[in-house]
Amino acid sequence: IVNCPCKYNFSEDGKKLTPRRDVPSYPKYTLSQETIEALKKPTFDVWHWEHNEMLSCLEYMYHDLGLVKEFNMNPITLKRWLLGIQENYRSNPFHNFRHCFCVSQMMYGMIHLCNLQEKLTLTDMGILMTAAVCHDLDHPGYNNTYQINARTELAVRYNDISPLENHHCAVAFQILSLPECNIFANVDPEAFKQIRQAVITLILATDMARHGEILDSFKQKVDNFDFTNEEHVTCLKMVLIKCCDISNEVRPTEVAEPWVDCLLEEYFMQSDREKSEGLPVAPFMDRDKVTKPTAQIGFIKFVLIPMFETVMKLFPQIEEIMVQPLRDSRDHYEELKQIDDAMTEKKKTENIAVVTL
């Protein structure tokens, strides 16, 4: 195998790298009652915490939702698993451990807001949370389009079919295959098979190339949604992880806006590399063509709002807390764009004035 940048080498001999630390060494942070309450809400300030604190929050969520009890997890194994997860996120500008935490915290918030405990099984909840935690493991910072066009090792391995998402899944189960990190060790093999399949389905659903297909499938079910229908529930879970994955704009402006800079930084790194390697460049990643407002407006109007409004049909309680902030964010960026456009217009007229002089 060519030198593989990912932590886990999928060579034929099947040797696996073990995480560097085999003892959970993050200090036991006791979360304040204030933090515990805030953790359930989309307004939670995800920038305020260091890695150890985020690990403690994730650990708390697993205990609070009753997942530790339900799956008979060893609490020490849960700590080790979370540490192994954190170590396998890279320090990309956007696709990093803090993004993993954001998506997981939003999932936890949606479980509470939508009262999913009453509608779904504890197994479903474990699947939702675990898929959220694992969904971008070992992301290299360059998207599927780059992988495929550059014919990277991942694209070759996965035959151009969602190379990144397949890799995130593989790394997730590589970590779970280590006995000291296997939070599902006490689950019977048949149940584990089902959990594994469901987690894979959810992580693969985060490929935005499948956005239209997945949302359309949910739209067909939402008006006569049946929580006893396995296919309906699977489709809902796919839409929930999608919502959480791209939910930054649901958060307050001061929390959401820095993420846009992080994403653009990652996009620009990719487009610069594509230019230097003579590969096609997507206009939305091109530093010469993109501004923060243009990057966000279309995404909020045509991707985020339609998806969240569809979920709102099933859970009307999200309108005020999740959908309204999206509409406000859209308005905020449209105002910024008007200011940008006015500035550009002013520059143009100034330049014309200079030329005519």
Annotated binding-site ranges: 95-99, 135-136, 245, 296
Angle between helices 163-176 and 122-134 (to 10 degrees): 110
Binding site as annotated, residues for AMP:
95-99, 136, 245, 296
| Dihedral angle of Cα 215, 217, 219, 225, to the nearest 10 degrees | -130
Query: Could you say which of 48, 51, 63, 95 is catalytic?
Result: 95
Q: Which residues are annotated as a binding site for Zn(2+)?
A: 99, 135-136, 245
Report the number of secondary-structure helices (H) and strands (E) in the chain: 18, 0
Distance from the Cα of residue 230 to its chain's centroid = 24
* Of the candidates 242, 244, 246, 353, the residue with the CA atom closest to the CA atom of residue 299: 246
Instruction: Give the 3-state secondary structure percentages of the chain, helix then strand then coil, rounded to 5.
Output: 70, 0, 30
Contact call for residues 180 and 22 (beta carbons, < 8 A): yes
Q: Which residues, at least 6 apart from 243, have a Cβ–Cβ distance to it below 8 Å?
A: 106, 110, 307, 308, 311
- Calpha distance 82→74 (Å, rounded): 13
Answer for the pair 207, 44: CB distance below 8 angstroms, yes or no. Answer: no
Q: 153 with 2: CB under 8 angstroms?
A: yes
Euclidean distance between CA atoms 146 and 281, whole angstroms: 9
Between CA 155 and CA 167 the distance in angstroms is 10
Residue type, 292: K
> Which DSSP state fits 19?
P
Catalytic residue list contains 95? yes
Closest CA to 174 of 73, 88, 97: 88
161 by DSSP, 3-state: which? Answer: coil
Residues recognised as catalytic: 95
